[in-house]
Amino acid sequence: MSDKIIIFDTTLRDGEQSAGASMSVEEKIEIGKALDEMGVDVIEAGFPFASKGDFEAVEKVASNSKNSIVCGLARAQRTDIEAARNALKKAKRFRIHTFISTSDLHMKYKLRMNKVEVKDCIKRSVSMARNFTDDVEWSPEDASRSDRDFLYKTIEIAINYGARTINIPDTVGYSIPDEFGNLIKKIKSNVINIDKAIISVHCHNDLGLAVSNSLSAIVNGARQVECTINGIGERAGNAALEEIVMCLKTRKDLLPYKTGIKTKNISKISHLVSKTTGFFVQPNKAIVGKNAFAHESGIHQDGMLKHSNTYEIMTPESIGLSSSELVLGKHSGRHAFKVKLEELGFKIKEKELDKLFKKFKDLADKKKQLFEEDLIALVDDESSTNSKIKFIDLKVKCGSNLNANAEIQIEIDGKLKKSMSDGQGPIDSIFKSIQKIVANSAQLILFQVNSITKGVDAQAEVNVRLQESGISVQGQGKDIDTMVASAKAYINALNKLINKREKHKSGSMKFSSKIQPIDKHVI
Ligand code: KIV
Ligand code: ZN
């Protein structure tokens, strides 16, 4: 049996299903490229039938991918499978991933189908997908809560009709590691044609066990794991790619498997996904949290100085971090700035570099010490200037004996707009002044401020969550001035809200759980 573990990343599909996460087509293309570069074997780029935006994103990720297989999700029905094929056809290599629930609970209440109908549906959907590609993955949704004998039978049917990857989802994150590992072992010994397919696993993190369950599945014979960057995904998320990969790398002694992931890209892609979705990575998150390599206690620091292995089981460099020491200052030149950005993995065109270098000099005038995080924030800020609504300028008046007032200038589709508002405090007045220009009924659900680096002159990172008619979005803004960072975060969220509103209007996001059976002539 091969020791290669296929890494199937579903950040752009299950990850985007996280409440509040929203990615534009351009953002998905950027993440898709980064996943491809990092060595992900299969990128699940979206659910093409879900909306025009999803279709376009899958199409673009497919045509941009150099090495990764690009995959699209499809329910077991004609419309979905056709949409997946149409979105994927420009890819060098593509996969159609089709699924249907197999648990009694899902079949009875969600699908309203009996076992015979579900088996019939598997035959038709897998055959139909096989007409379009040899690379078909099939998932029995809610597998871990399905009747075992029925599950084995459905897997056998899917393989007979052409599925070459069988993905076992722990859809509701209910399993525990021994139980889930055992399920994989039992599938291997009870499904008579299982040798014709690769077993994959897709674990959700509702009980915090997604990574452990995935590893237990590997030990018991799974050779593909489905995961997401930073573990984002439906509800509590999916198994985190970086945790699985680094676990396999660090514990080779007990887990003798390999992946094709370039681990040095992990830190950068984690940051990219966090910035894009607006989901902060908690400081103590394994591998990519801000504190994952920070040694705070005196005893630990002393140990580290004597020998790093005393308290370090993997190096920060192995995930692409260097120590967050002072990198550049006021007197650094354009060349040093460019080299540092390249070291951080940013390939910036000369014209953009001029703009960025100017911003860098402005920042260096305000801030004594510039850290890598500051440079990353500069690049992030520049990339958000391509949006529909752009921040231009802000003046705020506030204080203990003053009525707060904000005066904002923003650009919408290239046109400069100004407004002014009073409010209950500076943030309220900033947001109200923006609302006067960009009318919306969104409620502010969350407002959070973090500092990017240490020191009183650190840049602020503000996160806001807005909710409007069932749509929820996160926005992020960074600046040395917390008020400006707040305005940028609010504008960033509004850009995403506009984007998501359009998606809702254009798409068929209102899914019916009831499957429209594929006509009999398909098989
Ligand atoms: O969690 C799940 O069951 C899924 C399937 C579509 C694979 O995301
Ligand atoms: Zn899932």
Region 408-434 average pLDDT? 96
Instruction: Report CA Rg, the chain.
Output: 25
14 lines ligand 1 (CB under 6 A): yes
Q: Would you say the CB of residue 72 lies under 6 angstroms from ligand 1?
A: no
What is the average per-residue pLDDT within 368-390? 78
Ligand 1 in reach of 106 Cβ (< 6 A): no
Q: What share of the chain in percent tops pLDDT 90?
A: 66
- Do residues 456 and 465 touch, judged by C-beta distance below 8 A? no
Q: Which helix (H) or strand (E) holds 335?
A: helix 334-343
Contact in structure between 523 and 161 (CB atoms under 8 Å): yes
State the average pLDDT for the chain. Answer: 91
CA of 178 to the centre of ligand 1 (A): 21
For residues 122 and 113, what is the distance between their CA atoms, to the nearest angstrom?
A: 12
Q: How confident is the model at residue 470 (pLDDT cuts 50, 70, 90)?
A: confident
**Residue 349: pLDDT band with limits 50, 70, 90:** confident
Contacts of 23 (CB under 8 A, 6+ apart): 12, 16, 31, 57, 276, 277
- Host H or E run for residue 471: strand 471-479
User: What's the mean pLDDT in 457-478?
Assistant: 86
Any atom of ligand 1 within 6 Å of the Cβ of 171:
yes
> Cα dist. 393→327, 376, 397, 423, 450 in Å?
28, 22, 14, 18, 22
Are residues 80 and 512 in contact, defined by beta-carbon separation less than 8 angstroms? Answer: no
> Of all atoms in ligand 1, which is nearest to the CA of residue 141?
3
pLDDT of the residue at 311: 79
Nearest CA residue ID for atom 4, ligand 1? 171
Ligand 1, atom 5, lies closest to the CA of 141
Average pLDDT over residues 487-508: 80
pLDDT at 491: 95
Q: Which ligand is nearest to the CA of 80?
A: 1
Where are the strands (E) in 144-244, listed by range?
165-170, 198-203, 224-227
Q: Which two tokens stand for residue 471?
A: 């749509």
Query: pLDDT grade, residue 352 (50/70/90)?
Result: confident
- Residue 44 Cβ inside 6 Å of ligand 1? The answer reads no
Cα of 248 from ligand 2 centre, angstroms: 22
Query: How confident is the model over 370-386, as a mean pLDDT?
Result: 76
**DSSP classification of residue 111:** I
> What spacing in Å lies between the alpha carbon of 169 and ligand 2's midpoint?
7
Ligand nearest to the Cα of 167, by number = 1
Instruction: Write down the pLDDT at residue 105.
Output: 97
Is the pLDDT confidence value at 509 over 50? no
* Ligand 1 neighbour 226 (Cβ under 6 A): no
- Tell me, using a 6 A CB cutoff, whether residue 170 lines ligand 1: no
CB of 230 closer than 8 Å to CB of 238: no
Whole-angstrom Cα distance, residue 377 to residue 267?
Answer: 14
Ligand 1 near 55 CB (within 6 A): no
| Ligand 1 pocket check for 99: Cβ under 6 Å | yes
Atom of ligand 1 nearest to the CA of 17: 8
Cα-Cα-Cα-Cα torsion 225, 231, 237, 238, nearest 10 degrees, comes to 0
Residues 6+ apart with CB under 8 A from 492: 278, 384, 387, 475, 476, 477
Strands 471-479 and 460-468: antiparallel
Using alpha carbons, list the distances in angstroms from residue 209 to 214, 348, 371, 420: 8, 40, 35, 49
Question: What is the CA(234)–ligand 2 centre distance, in A?
Answer: 6
Res. 386: pLDDT tops 70: no
pLDDT of residue 522: 59
**The one-letter amino acid at 224:** Q
Helices (H) and strands (E) in the chain, counts: 16, 14
Find, among 417, 391, 420, 392, the residue nearest to 406 by Cα. 420
| Cα–Cα dist 250/406, whole Å | 52
Using pLDDT thresholds of 50, 70 and 90, give the confidence band for residue 277: confident
Beta carbons of 8 and 227 less than 8 angstroms apart: yes
Q: Check pLDDT > 80 for residue 304.
A: no
Which residue's alpha carbon is at the smallest distance from atom 2 of ligand 1? 171
Distance CA 135, CA 6 (A): 14
Position in ligand 1 atom list of the atom nearest CA 143: 3
SS3 assignment, position 239 = coil
Name the nearest CA neighbour of 215 among 180, 264, 260.
180
> Which is more confidently placed, 144 or 517?
144
Q: What is the pLDDT of residues 57-100, one digit of tens each?
A: 999 999 999 999 999 999 999 999 999 999 999 999 999 999 99
- pLDDT band of residue 508 (cuts 50, 70, 90) is very low
- Whole-number Å distance, alpha carbon 145 to ligand 2 midpoint, is 14
The whole-model pTM stands at 0.84
In whole angstroms, give the CA distance from residue 179 to residue 122.
26
Per-residue model confidence (pLDDT) at position 182: 98
Q: Is the CB of 97 under 6 A from ligand 1?
A: no
CA of 16 to the centre of ligand 1 (A): 13
166-185 as b/e: b if 16+ CB within 10 A: bbbbbbbbbbebeebbebbb
In the reported structure, the alpha carbon of residue 218 is separated from the centroid of ligand 1 by a whole-number distance in angstroms of 18
Give, for ligand 1, the residue of 73, 202, 238 to mutate: max count of ligand atoms closer than 8 Å to Cβ: 202
Q: Residue 257: CB partners within 8 Å, gap ≥ 6?
A: 3, 4, 5, 218, 248
